[in-house]
Structure 1
């Protein structure tokens, strides 16, 4: 699928970074002409993504600097290790380098409160894009420095190679991209917007080895965040009563009912109507409920035991209604794992 995105910048009285191939110019415009990526892949495939761009600079004096290019993808794909980006342009060719998490993002206190690193500041601004599960990260790259002058038009391409499914899981996910200035960062002021964010349709990755599907693309009645965690991690049970038609829509109180399985095969069931199992509505009338638990304590296991899986339902206060996976009689299921 192709995405045509045009961004026009006003004349800037301060130095604005043109965001393709690292340009810092007082006034410029840039356009992502086309983004091509596949929408199906197998776990372990290296997919090719191509970004065509045009940059027009209209101000003296010439300036030099880097572009920041970020991609949103599942944490388990280990994007820093499994992504390479090269570019060609009428100004020259080069390779982008991954920015370490230790580097504070540009933008100053107004546009990077708290002095966050690039991934954290991007997540603060853009969240998880058009996805519904939190286990995603922004992986950030910097171009080489290039100098641009006045009244110049530059054409070029970014060539991205991304290995998908490094965690072995099937996944449906909407990748997202942000281009911004290495000098200015995620700045918006009276002179313009110094970044561009754009989003793609759902990419389906199949052929995994774990038997699990993480569906970032679809609203979920019930999920556990993060979707990859161990029994000693704090986890959040989430129920969205409005994600699909179900008999708990409109309920003002919902409860957890579930059974955990230990490594040695023991089953432990929690089935009670109490504060222990009650989920809290995130906002009044939202229909979205959640509860944070420490699984080891919640299921009262011993120091020598280890939880490996969990199956559960969400019920009303009288237990007369219970909702399972996709509003079926099947329970929601979760495996405790770190990958």
Structure 2
């Protein structure tokens, strides 16, 4: 008998046996539908319902774990209300706090942030009541979410994830649903398109140029790391700080002067026209091989560099001929 028990233990603790045991002891959640508006107006409250099916493989009672991906600016942790109804009971949900397991990190690792380039966050809620399930008896439910959408025009993709406290956030025991990008309208700001490409603060005109051309450099101080404003947002004056390699020697044009001062062409929008040879006092016979630059305020104590690299922006010749 002892040998048989030892043999049984060896079988149970084999990896495949553990996997089968895990399948036998689970409560699989599937999101079957998300009812969410495609657009709302600033200042409004948005109501969303998430329909789920639950397939218990054991007799157990667990709390519902619900995560929603939203723009950080909405601050739904301070304004959202969440509740649930189901065949096996109804109840309310609360914001997850420091005494709960860390659900936010595994949700972010498992689900990502959809089509958004950044400035979004997963906010997690946990049911105040447990929901009981019986082995092999599926049941359905619905989560009701109501949240404020802030005061800014914005396009974003929302995401939803549902699981249980018994198994945490794991592949197979939770379900994730991303909805098509939706829009908030009616605000005073230019649209913040989180579903679009990652914003970049610098533009060049013309698009094709050499170091012998006049190049118009545009700077949008609202487009910093992950779309957040740069450190020069709201500045009253902005200056170009440029460096070059001429005939193998490093030179710099970083003084506060008329030639480096940028023109304001709108709120947080700046432009400067640069002829590299004039900017660096390079003679026609001299060779310019490299130009990099950043932007500074008049005091020189605030500087903006490439948000993607943390280094100076590069001015690279771009000519089809």
- Say yes or no: does 1:82 pair with 2:75: no
Query: Is the 1:268–1:299 Cα contact (8 Å) retained in structure 2?
Result: yes
SS of 1:13's partner is helix
Report the equivalent of 2:224: 224
User: What value does the CA root-mean-square deviation take over the aligned residues?
Assistant: 3.6
1:70 aligns with 2:67: yes
The count of corresponding residues between Structure 1 and Structure 2 is 229
Distance 2:166 2:183 in 1: 35
Matches within 5 A, 1:139-158: 139-143=123-127, 144-158=129-143
The aligned residue for residue 238 of structure 1 is: none
| Deviation at residue 218 of structure 1 after TM alignment | 1.6
Partner of 1:13: 21
Give how far 1:72 is off.
0.7
Deviation readout 1:245-274 (Å, 9 max, x if unpaired): xxxxxxxxxxxxxxx5764x3232234457
**1:213 equivalent in structure 2:** 191
SS in 2 for 1:49: strand
Question: Match of 2:227, SS?
Answer: coil
Tell me, yes or no, if structure 1 residue 47 matches structure 2 residue 46. Answer: yes
Match of 2:148 in 1: 163
Note closer, same or farther for the CA distance 1:319–1:155 as it changes in structure 2 (3 Å cut): closer
Partner residue of 2:166 out of 171, 183, 189:
183
8 Å CA contact 1:261–1:268 kept in 2: the answer is: no
For 1:272 and 1:307, how far apart are their aligned partners in 2? 14
1:306/1:45 CA distance change after superposition, 3 Å: farther
The answer to whether the Cα contact below 8 Å between 2:62 and 2:166 also exists between their aligned partners in 1 is: yes
CA contact (8 A) 2:61 2:131 kept: yes
**What is the alpha-carbon distance in structure 1 between the residues aligned to residue 104 and residue 315 of structure 2?**
39
Kindly indicate whether the alpha-carbon contact (under 8 Å) linking 1:37 and 1:50 is maintained by their aligned counterparts in 2: yes
1:66 deviates by 0.9
Gaps of 5+ in 2: 1-17, 201-222, 253-292, 305-312
Larger CA Rg, structure 1 vs 2: 2
Distance 1:120 1:270, change over 3 A: farther
**TM-score of the pair, normalised by structure 2:** 0.61
Q: Which runs of 5+ in 1 are unaligned?
A: 1-9, 17-24, 106-116, 232-259, 277-292, 309-313, 322-339
| TM superposition shift of 1:39 | 0.6
* Higher relative helix content: 2
Instruction: Give the CA deviation at 1:197.
Output: 1.5
Q: CA deviation at 1:98?
A: 0.6
- Give distance in 1, aligned partners of 2:74 and 2:187: 12
Tell me if 1:138 matches 2:122. yes
Residue in structure 2 matched with residue 267 of structure 1 by the alignment? 238
Q: Tell me if structure 2 keeps the 8 A contact 1:173–1:215.
A: yes
TM-score by length of 1: 0.58
**Is the contact between residue 34 and residue 53 of structure 1 (CA under 8 Å) also seen in structure 2?**
yes
Q: How does 1:284-299 map onto structure 2 within 5 Å? A: 299=296
Distance in 1 (alpha carbons) for counterparts of 2:179 and 2:86: 24
